[in-house]
Amino acid sequence: MKLKTTLFTLGTMIALTSSAQATETAEGLFDTKCAICHTKTRPTDMTKVLAPALMGVMRHVKMEYPNKDEAVKFMVDYILEPSKEKAICMPKKIERFGLMPSQKGNVTEAELTKITSWMFDNYPPADFRGMGQGNREGKGQGRGQGN
């Protein structure tokens, strides 16, 4: 009986350690901290969407901040201290979803730096095309390009 208990305890510890390590990856952190609202794929049922999908968010971020360091800095700041003045999404997105609530207390700056760096490196996919709803008309080249 003691061997069974020891094996069960050991198995539980390994499972918890594996789960914790998976969460420590940037994608794991995104899945834990961000995916409750932001999906990694294009939504199929728009009635269940809580926030813009990651690929669209990153399309707009990269249009404004093509430099990774500037993009990461912007995203970390915005996620912790969101405001309409800082928002780079289309105004209709804020009308539909509201302003993103501050994530202070839900995610650390270090976690956000890891997550947003991963987001920049992986999204949007190369073949991504926006939904064409007046995407960024009249916005110029973006802040990261000397504007």
Which sequence spans correspond to the domains of the chain? 21-41+50-123
The answer, yes or no, to whether residue 143 has pLDDT greater than 70, is no
What is residue 28's predicted lDDT score, i.e. its pLDDT?
97
CA distance 65 to 147: 10
Q: CA dist 78 to 68, 99, 100, 101, 147, Å? A: 15, 11, 9, 10, 19
Sign, Cα dihedral of 35, 39, 44, 49: positive
CA distance 144 to 66: 6
Read off the pLDDT of each residue in 114-138 and give the average, rounded to a whole number.
77
Read off the pLDDT of each residue in 117-139 and give the average, rounded to a whole number.
73
What is residue 16's predicted lDDT score, i.e. its pLDDT?
45
Q: CA dist 57 to 12, 14, 39, 64, Å? A: 38, 36, 10, 11
Q: Outline where the chain has alpha helix (H).
A: 2-24, 26-33, 54-64, 68-80, 91-97, 109-122
CA distance 103 to 33: 9
CATH topology of domain 21-41+50-123: Cytochrome Bc1 Complex; Chain D, domain 2 (1.10.760)
The answer, yes or no, to whether residue 44 has pLDDT greater than 70, is yes
The reply to whether the predicted model has a pTM over 0.75 is no
Read off the pLDDT of each residue in 96-105 and give the average, rounded to a whole number.
96
The answer, yes or no, to whether residue 63 has pLDDT greater than 50, is yes
Read off the pLDDT of each residue in 44-59 and give the average, rounded to a whole number.
92
Q: How confident is the model at residue 42 (pLDDT cuts 50, 70, 90)?
A: confident
User: Coil, strand or helix: which one is 70?
Assistant: helix
The answer, yes or no, to whether residue 140 has pLDDT greater than 60, is no
